Amino acid sequence: MRSASEADWVCVLDTGSTDDTVALLRAHGAIVEQKRIEPWRFDDARNESMKLIPPEADVCCCVDLDEQFRPGWRAALEAAWKPDTTRARYRYTWSFNPDGSEGVVFYPEKFHKNGCYRWKHPVHEILEYVGEGAERVVTARGVQLDHHPDAAKSRAQYLPLLELAVAEAPEDDRCRHYLGREYLYRGEWQKAIDTLRAHLALPSATWADERAASMRFIARCYRHLGRDDLAAAWYHRAIAEAPHLREPYVDYASLLYDHGNWEGVAYFARCALAVTERGATYITEGYAWGALPWDYLAIAEWNLGRADEAAEACRRAVALAPEEERLQNNLAIFERALYNKKQEQLL
């Protein structure tokens, strides 16, 4: 409620809390109603919540109770919003690493003109434009929303809802991709492979970033099935599909690392690090933009007998993850080797 205090109204549809949530929200000024959504689906719940929005509201944004805006978001939104704007995108930190640094960051588009949108899909729901004229989207620079999820919260409802989403919209490539990813999360490797391959075969599946993600996920499944040969082939396909992304290079370096192919690890780690612009979509993975590619490069260079390069790469890794003891220990080993080498040269 504090993070949303810059809004004129805060409207909440409570769909089944059993604690003091409703009373606390009302005490802080929220408009709160309670309703059971049966059978449960996220789009129906969000569409019901929009009925609580006063008609005089111009712009709306749907956020969850585990999300918080940083101060100044309203002024930044108003600065970006134009008379013909229907929707605005903003910066969203979906996850944070254990050290507090950002993990997955992307730009959703949940600010929207009142009365011009509805939600669709049972889960991983999206806004569908139902207004008149053309949709106009702007980027609201300076708006930052942070997600602080409860890691212990169950994802059990996601799979049946995703299966329902695919059944309702079998030609929707986004729903198919998400379903394949959910099978992956649950360790149902062959189902994930089959579903992700079906995603790639859809005529509408043309977004290279998401296609590359499906290919990486297929490769990950094959690794779990002990088929690293097939995993390597799918990583190659992912790289070819989206050479502008870091993630396929880092994932393939991981496979080569497991096989001790140090020349390959060094090469693909450098390929990853050559990609310096992080994408603005949910496809990005936090590990690819942290210490990991530098860590892979440092270990590969060490095993190739290049202590100078190993030490430099390890320094870059430590700078990104200063609390990681293993990296600090590795750096000490590399620098000690460099020192001994210099001492031998002096002698």
DSSP 8-state code for residue 66: T
Q: What is the pLDDT of residue 280?
A: 83
Using one digit for the tens of pLDDT, what is the confidence trace for 272-316? 999 999 988 888 898 999 999 999 999 999 999 999 999 999 999
Domains of the chain: total:
2
- Boundary residue ending a domain (115, 147, 179): 147
**Does residue 313 sit in the same domain as residue 179?**
yes
CB 241 within 8 A of CB 196: no
The closest of 76, 74, 68 to 92, measured between CA atoms, is 68
CATH number of the domain that residue 270 is part of: 1.25.40.10
Q: Is residue 153 part of a domain?
A: no
As given in the structure block, the two tokens for residue 52 are: 């609580």
Q: What is the pLDDT of residue 272?
A: 98
Determine how many CB atoms are found less than 10 A away from the CB of residue 82.
9
| pTM listed for this prediction | 0.89
Distance CA 182, CA 261 (A): 31
Using one digit for the tens of pLDDT, what is the confidence trace for 337-347? 988 887 777 76
**Does residue 132 sit in the same domain as residue 182?**
no
CB 111 within 8 A of CB 61: yes
CB 206 within 8 A of CB 238: no
Print the domain residue range for 85: 11-147
Q: What is the pLDDT of residue 210?
A: 97
As given in the structure block, the two tokens for residue 145 are: 């929303």
**Does residue 301 sit in the same domain as residue 259?**
yes
Distance CA 136, CA 295 (A): 43
- Boundary residue ending a domain (105, 128, 147): 147
Q: What is the pLDDT of residue 314?
A: 98
Distance CA 12, CA 34 (A): 8
Q: What is the pLDDT of residue 154?
A: 80
Distance CA 21, CA 80 (A): 33
**Does residue 166 sit in the same domain as residue 186?**
yes
DSSP 8-state code for residue 208: H
Q: What is the pLDDT of residue 347?
A: 64
- Boundary residue ending a domain (104, 123, 147): 147
H or E element, residue 218: helix 208-224
State which residues of the chain have pLDDT below 70: 347
**Does residue 264 sit in the same domain as residue 326?**
yes
**Does residue 197 sit in the same domain as residue 321?**
yes
What is the 3-class SS of 159-202, one letter each residue? Answer: HHHHHHHHHHCCCCHHHHHHHHHHHHHCCCHHHHHHHHHHHHHC
Q: Is residue 6 part of a domain?
A: no
**Does residue 127 sit in the same domain as residue 172?**
no
Q: Is residue 168 part of a domain?
A: yes
Would you say the C-alpha torsion 309, 315, 320, 324 has a positive or negative sign?
positive
**Does residue 134 sit in the same domain as residue 175?**
no
